[in-house]
Structure 1
Amino acid sequence: MINLEHIVKRFYVGKPNELEILHGIDLKVYEGEFVSIVGASGSGKTTLMNLIGILDRPTEGEYFLDDVDVCHAPDRELSHIRNKKIGFVFQTYNLISRTSALKNVELPMLYAGIDRKTRRARAKELLQLVDMEERMQHTPDELSGGQKQRVAIARALVNHPAILLADEPTGALDSVTGRKIMDLFHKLHKEQGITIVLITHSNELAEETQRIITLKDGEIIGERKGSISCC
């Protein structure tokens, strides 16, 4: 499903302060896998996630998503692929503060041109899935960190993505709440077969996935099996 070949990412290209963050990354993620990318702060994890999620393009190398060459596709096509295939979950939630949980979840469907009745039904369905049905009319300011993250996960799922990218999704949460979020990821993976890529600095969380990719200083330095079985 995800195939990165010899990926290099530089910033300030051609300038005296040119900075290379990723150095020749080769990575495959197969359909239905639960994979973690683990590394210390500054290892290049978020840069790699932005490339996998087509939020940015590599400086060199090739990236094929479901056999589509996304490195050379026009921006409009990339926007369509991103909206239909990929759901994002961020450490900082990225919710609109003055808008209800329900409307936050509806928002990606609005951009996709889905009618109001369908949007509302789908948003309610997903808020029920993440145990937030009783808080759907509350704004993010009225929710705890764990509740905000549940809303963010519901929003990430609205367009039936094949891939869920989670960037430090428990990093801002206490251990008990973080445990609940990880349990939710396991439920989604097991029951819906979603491909999940978890970006984390925590080796403990990484161990809960099927395959662990270790990133250091912009290079993959190791790969090993996690504690959950494949398929």
Structure 2
Amino acid sequence: MQMQPIIDMQGIVKRYYIGKPNELEILHGIDLQVYPGEFVAIVGESGSGKSTLMNIIGALDRPTEGSYTLDGVDITRAKDKELSVIRNRKIGFVFQTFNLIGRTSALKNVELPMLYAGVPARQRTQRAKELLEMVNMTERARHQPNELSGGQKQRVAIARALVNQPALLLADEPTGALDSATSRTVMDIFHQLHARGMTIVLITHSQELAAECERILTLRDGRFVGERKGAGRSAAV
């Protein structure tokens, strides 16, 4: 039996209306399949369409044309309320800017997606503590974001992304605001997650980070222009 892709995009086009008769087309017929357990990098320079594609993969935006199925769910047909549930339950987001809530402890930040999912309080706290331990942030669980370094914030963000056991971890320039040593720590966590079977899509402009993934797709001017194998974790050694 052939394995079904977690991400299955066919002919994805994205246009923005900028006034009659002009339309701005950002993505031009994207085909993308990502299978369970893969660690895939989408790499491209600024203006290549990475952010637009990331928003569609993450169900934060809809394509103008084409079809997109995420873990068996037809995203292009889902209603807005359904998309919100899909984002919370099927996708774990890790952003360059961390997106943590200020004046809220690391522990409560990690608990938040479970609160939206209706998980009981005791279970939320236990799960959040386990994930903070996994990313070596137990001692900082009661600290607020302004009391954490950039690398610590990103580790909290990774823990938060995992709380609902998503089918996909979507990381958008996750080391862009970090120094090289801290970036290494974050990438090591991704490798650990991948080794446990997590499906990861890394959006990046860094060829060095992309080389650590299993498969590298190059996006240029809204089109995939190349695909190659990465060195995987050996590239980090």
TM-score class, shorter: over 0.9
Deviations 1:178-225 (A, max 9, x none): 01100000001102x110000000001000000000000111000000
Residue 86 (structure 1) aligned with residue 91 (structure 2):
yes
Identity %: 72
Aligned to 1:215: 219
| Letter paired with 1:81 | I
Residue 171 (structure 1) aligned with residue 183 (structure 2):
no
Query: What is the SS of the residue equivalent to 2:228?
Result: strand
Q: What TM-score do the two structures reach when normalised by structure 1?
A: 0.96
Deviations 1:27-59 (A, max 9, x none): 110111000000001111111011011111000
Aligned to 1:154: 159
Q: Give distance in 1, aligned partners of 2:161 and 2:104.
A: 16
Runs of 4+ in 1 over 6 A off after TM superposition: none
Residue 57 (structure 1) aligned with residue 62 (structure 2):
yes
Residue 200 (structure 1) aligned with residue 204 (structure 2):
yes
Q: Give distance in 2, aligned partners of 1:185 and 1:199.
A: 13
Q: Give distance in 2, aligned partners of 1:188 and 1:174.
A: 21
Give the number of equivalent residue pairs: 228
Aligned to 1:48: 53
| Letter paired with 2:155 | R
CA positional deviation for 1:162 = 1.2
User: Following superposition of structure 1 onto structure 2, how do residues 1-231 of structure 1 map, counting pairs within 5 Å?
Assistant: 1-12=6-17, 15-191=20-196, 193-228=197-232
Task: Report the RMSD for the aligned CA atoms in angstroms.
Answer: 1.2
Q: What TM-score do the two structures reach when normalised by structure 2?
A: 0.93
Q: Give distance in 2, aligned partners of 1:86 and 1:137.
A: 26
Query: What is the SS of the residue equivalent to 1:114?
Result: coil
Q: 1:17 to 1:144 in 2, by over 3 A?
A: farther
Deviations 1:99-120 (A, max 9, x none): 1100000110111111110110
Aligned to 2:3: none
Q: Give distance in 1, aligned partners of 2:124 and 2:155.
A: 18
CA positional deviation for 1:65 = 1.4
CA positional deviation for 1:13 = 6.1
Query: What is the SS of the residue equivalent to 1:42?
Result: coil
Mark the runs of 5 or more structure 1 residues left unpaired by the alignment. none
CA positional deviation for 1:14 = 5.8
Query: What is the SS of the residue equivalent to 2:124?
Result: helix
